Structure 1
Amino acid sequence: MPLLKVVYLSNNTKLYLWKITEDFDMLFSQVKLKDSSLARLESMKSESHQKGFLAVRMLLQHNDYSDFDLFYDEFGKPHLKPQGCSIKDVEISISHSNDFSAIAISDSKVGLDFERLKEKTLRIAPRYMDVSHLKNLSEQEKIKKATVVWGIKESIFKIKNEEGISFLNHIFEEDFSFEDKKATAKLIFNNKEEKFQIQFDSVEDYIFVCAFEDVK
C-alpha cells in the first residue's frame, strides 16, 4: 500500500509511516539503489528486514529524496544530503518493526523508535527503566508504558550514539501518563547532563517515540 500516515510533530519535523503489504519484488522494482545499498540488501538474511529496508527508500522517494541522498557518518547515524541551495544536512531518523517502516525528517536533531507492543518489553523492563513508573497500571497499560520508555531510551541513544551509554544507568525519563503523548527525559553521561523533549503515540498495535534535544 502507499504511505499510511504523516504525523506533524512540529513546524520542522514530520514522521512518515509505511505499512508494508507489498511483496519483495514489488518493492524492489520501485526503488533505485546505489551499489553499497544493494550489497547491504543482499546480505540481509531476513525478508522482513529486506522489505523494511526497501520501504524506507519508498518513504524517501515520497519526499523527493532517494537512496543516493542518504548517507551515514562515521558513527553510523543517517543523514540526508541538502537539496537545492541549502548547505545544511537534513536530519533523519529511521526505524523498522515487522510490517512498518518509519522515518522522521527534521531541521533539528531527532531520534525515532517504532516498536510493536509485546509482553517481552514489560518482562525485561527492570533492565532498562525505573519500574516504579509502572505502579497502579493494568497489565496492558504497563506494556504500553514500558514500550514508550524503551522508545525514549532508544530514540535518545540514536541522537547521541555514544559508546558506553546505558539505558538503565544514564537515561532517565520523568514519570508521565500515556494520555499526555509527551514526556521529558535526561541523559547523564561523561559528567554532562542533557535534556530531551519526547513525543509519542500509538498506531494500530505499535508505539512510535520521537526525541528532540531540549535547546531551551
Structure 2
Amino acid sequence: MPICNQIQINNSCRLIVWKTSEPLEELLHSVSLTPKEEVKLNSFGSQSRKIEFVATRCLLQLSLGENVLIENDEHGKPHLINSDLNISVSHTKSYVGILIGDKYTVALDMEYLSDRVYRIANRFLSEDELDNIDEKNKILHLYQHWCAKECLIKMYGKKDVHLINELKIAPFSPGSSTFSGQVCRADFSETYTFQYLQFDNHLLVYSIKKANSY
C-alpha cells in the first residue's frame, strides 16, 4: 500500500493518498479491527467496499496509531475516537485518501474522471453553473464542481441538502489554483475555498477552514 501523495497543507492539516493494490487478506494483516468494525466489514457484500473499509483504517492507524478509531455519526460524517483531530475520508477505484486537521474542519473528495458525469450534470449543477463549464476541459470542470459540492456536504455535516439550490459554486476556470463555494441554507450559510490535485486520471478536491470561525 504505497503512499502516492502526501501533502502537509499547513502546520495543522495533512493530506495522505494511498494506492490500494493488495488483496483484502494482506490488508487485514496490517490492521487491528475492533469487534464492531469486524461486524461492519462482514456486512459489506462487495469485495471492493471491504478493501476500501480496511484500507482506510490501515492508513489511519499508520498515520495516528492503533488506538485512534474512526466512527460515523447519524449523518455519515466520520469522527475520530481517542483523538481531537478532525478527519475527512474519500475513496474511489483503487485509491483511498484521508485529510486530517487540528483545529480545522476539513473536507476531501476524490473521483475517477469519466464521461459518465455528462449524464448527471444537470442533477447537481444550476443553469448558471452549467453555463460556466469550460467546453475544452469539460470533464475536469464538471468533476471539480461535483467534488466541491461533495466537500460542501461534508463541511456542513448533513446530507439533507439540495445540490442545486443550497450548494453554490462561484464561477471559475478549470485551471484556477483555488475556487470557492457556499452552503446556502436558512439555518446555515458559509463560504469555503477549494484546492485540487490531478493524478492517474483521478481528481482530488479538498477544503480546510479554521474551526469555530463562524
TM-score normalised to the size of structure 2? 0.89
In structure 2, distance between residues paired with 1:195 and 1:111: 13
Q: Secondary structure at the match of 1:54?
A: helix
CA RMSD of aligned residues (A): 1.9
Tell me the CA shift for residue 208 of structure 1: 0.7
Q: 1:169 aligns with which of 160, 165, 168?
A: 165
Alignment gaps of 5+ in structure 2: none
Alignment gaps of 5+ in structure 1: 84-88
CA contact (8 A) 1:60 1:67 kept: no
Q: Secondary structure at the match of 1:119?
A: coil
Q: 2:90 aligns with which of 67, 77, 95?
A: 95
Relative to structure 1, is the Cα distance of residues 166 and 213 closer, same or farther in structure 2, using a 3 angstrom cutoff? farther
Amino acid at match of 1:100: Y
Query: 1:106 and 2:101 equivalent?
Result: yes
Question: Where does residue 142 of structure 2 map in the other structure?
Answer: 146
Paired residues, what number? 208
In structure 2, distance between residues paired with 1:16 and 1:67: 19
Tell me the CA shift for residue 68 of structure 1: 4.8
CA contact (8 A) 2:91 2:97 kept: yes
Question: Where does residue 71 of structure 2 map in the other structure?
Answer: 71
How is 1:1-216 mapped onto 2 (pairs within 5 angstroms)? 1-66=1-66, 68-83=68-83, 89-107=84-102, 108-129=104-125, 130-135=129-134, 137-138=135-136, 141-190=137-186, 192-213=188-209, 215=213
CA contact (8 A) 2:149 2:163 kept: yes
Relative to structure 1, is the Cα distance of residues 148 and 67 closer, same or farther in structure 2, using a 3 angstrom cutoff? farther
Tell me the CA shift for residue 22 of structure 1: 0.4
Mean Cα displacement is larger for which, 202-211 or 61-70? 61-70
Amino acid at match of 1:112: L
Tell me the CA shift for residue 133 of structure 1: 1.4
Relative to structure 1, is the Cα distance of residues 72 and 164 closer, same or farther in structure 2, using a 3 angstrom cutoff? closer
TM-score normalised to the size of structure 1? 0.89
In structure 2, distance between residues paired with 1:195 and 1:97: 26
Relative to structure 1, is the Cα distance of residues 126 and 93 closer, same or farther in structure 2, using a 3 angstrom cutoff? same
CA contact (8 A) 1:13 1:106 kept: yes
In structure 1, distance between residues paired with 2:148 and 2:16: 18
Relative to structure 1, is the Cα distance of residues 67 and 44 closer, same or farther in structure 2, using a 3 angstrom cutoff? farther
Amino acid at match of 2:121: A
